[in-house]
Amino acid sequence: MRALEYFHVRTAPAMGMYFDADFWNSFIVQVSVAEPALRHAVVALGVLAEQRELRDEVNASDSREPHLAEESPTVMSTPTRITETDPVVLQSYNSSVGLLSKLASGPGTTDTVLLACILFVCIEFLRGDTEGAIRHFKGGMAIITDYISRAESAQPSRLMFDRVKNKMLPFFNRLEVLYALDGYDASWQYHTTLSKTVPDAVSSLENARDSLVDLLNLSLRFLRSMDLRMYEPSAAIPASAFEEQTALLNSLSLWRQRTSAYQAKQSDFTSRDQYASNVLEIQRLVAYTWVSVATTPFECAHDFHIPAYTAAVSLAENLPALARAHTQSARHANAFTLDVELVGPIHWVAIKCREPTVRRRAIAVLRGMRRREAMWDSKMAAFIAERVVAIEEEGSGDDESRLPREEARVHYSHTDSWAGVAGDGFQITHRLKTRGVWGEWVERAENFTLQ
């Protein structure tokens, strides 16, 4: 009962701060009462969420910070997976899986199975098992894709079809953003085309969010299609790629135009609405830079977007005050959410913007939070960004106003970590082009522990 109460009182409200409040606070609560498989999953999630919050409070009181390991920065064993956890979590999780396996073979259970997938994704992220979360996401996406495809030739229940297409599919579209940001390529056809992503008129902030998620996913698919091609002088980027790039940028600009038009008409725009609007605009600004630099290997191309990076950081700096205005300051500062909201986008600003003041402001924003957005942890994101800045500014002495040279830029950073309820060691591998963008890759690995 304690885990259920914790989920209802603390976890659900934090996960649905704006857009998904009804989903987490009402819908999940109601269906978990009626369906034992979902109720057991909610119990496991509640226990893990409480453990996470307690651990964060201990870490905050102890001022535990990552420290560079004393051993050679190129030698470190892979962080060990969690093999033991609270027995209530294991028992509840296993019970949910067992009940779901029986339920999955019955008629009219598609929505319940998909809800379980969402809860399982949350559980695995909190356990620190990103691969496990990805497996559940892919399984759920396969179910949705197959269901909608079959529904075109069959006569499904209207209630079930509407729930899957209008409630489940948007949720899994948001999970695809996480999937792509973690470096995976989507093998399924996206449910809509670019020309249909931006509505003729934005009708609500939820409508704007769903439209932006589509743009984010199509933008990330474009980035993945470019991959490392820009680093191969002999592999010319086709004209069609530049046409797609232009179309994506135009759509992102159109989204901003139509969302602004909607906002201008609202006479009762609250601080809560403004909070959500800031989050969406931060994501759009960052997505615009993703697409803009996708066809060039030069990191200094980000300099053109310093105004956008500055605007994103300014919007993020205003969020705590907006959160306090609608009594959600604590949830904003210390929350677990399933969506990418702030941590990933602000981390991008910190590692890609060469302007020293702006990137340090971005790191300060991350430092001011104790948020976990799926696999993104704000404290770790801040520390990684600090390491990138330190590497890029080596040799500049005390002059923090100097912009890092192109040859000093970190192009990619990959983290092997265990960021769940337990586990304190991680390794970051930075990839640089110290002899110019057409030279060989240089890898620099660093090992860290929480002390």
Between CA 118 and CA 122, with CA 120 as vertex, the angle to 5 degrees is 75
325 has a pLDDT exceeding 90: no
Residue 444 falls inside a structural domain: no
The residue that leads in pLDDT, 379 or 151, is 379
Q: What local confidence, expressed as pLDDT, does residue 69 receive?
A: 59
- CA 141 → CA 137, 145, 175, distances in Å? 6, 6, 9
The residue that leads in pLDDT, 161 or 199, is 199
Full residue range of the structural domain in which residue 332 is found: 194-401
The backbone torsions φ and ψ at residue 13, rounded to the nearest 5 degrees and listed phi first, read: -60, -35
Residue 20 falls inside a structural domain: no
- The pair of three-digit structure tokens given for residue 220, joined into one six-digit string: 């990330």
Q: What local confidence, expressed as pLDDT, does residue 156 receive?
A: 66
Per-residue pLDDT tens for 3-23? 777 787 777 877 777 788 888
Residue 266 falls inside a structural domain: yes
Of 107-111, 350-354, 432-436, the poorest mean pLDDT is in 107-111
Residue 347 falls inside a structural domain: yes
The residue that leads in pLDDT, 216 or 76, is 216
Of 201-210, 360-369, 372-381, the poorest mean pLDDT is in 372-381
Sign of CA dihedral 82, 84, 90, 94: positive
Q: What local confidence, expressed as pLDDT, does residue 294 receive?
A: 93
Per-residue pLDDT tens for 51-102? 877 766 655 555 556 666 544 333 333 333 333 456 888 888 888 888 888 7
Between CA 375 and CA 379, with CA 377 as vertex, the angle to 5 degrees is 165
| Mean pLDDT of the residues in the chain | 83
Q: Which residues contact 93 (CB under 8 A, 6 or more apart)?
A: 40, 41, 44, 123
Residue 303 falls inside a structural domain: yes
Q: What local confidence, expressed as pLDDT, does residue 351 receive?
A: 95
Residue 162 falls inside a structural domain: no
Location of structure tokens 């033991």: 84
| Overall domain count for the chain | 1
Q: What local confidence, expressed as pLDDT, does residue 66 receive?
A: 66
- The pair of three-digit structure tokens given for residue 219, joined into one six-digit string: 């933008």
Residue 428's SS3 state is strand
Per-residue pLDDT tens for 115-127? 999 999 989 988 8
Residue 186 falls inside a structural domain: no
Question: In the predicted model, what is the mean pLDDT of residues 364-377?
Answer: 86
- CA 360 → CA 149, 221, 225, 347, 366, distances in Å? 48, 30, 31, 11, 10
Residue 110 falls inside a structural domain: no
The residue that leads in pLDDT, 440 or 83, is 440
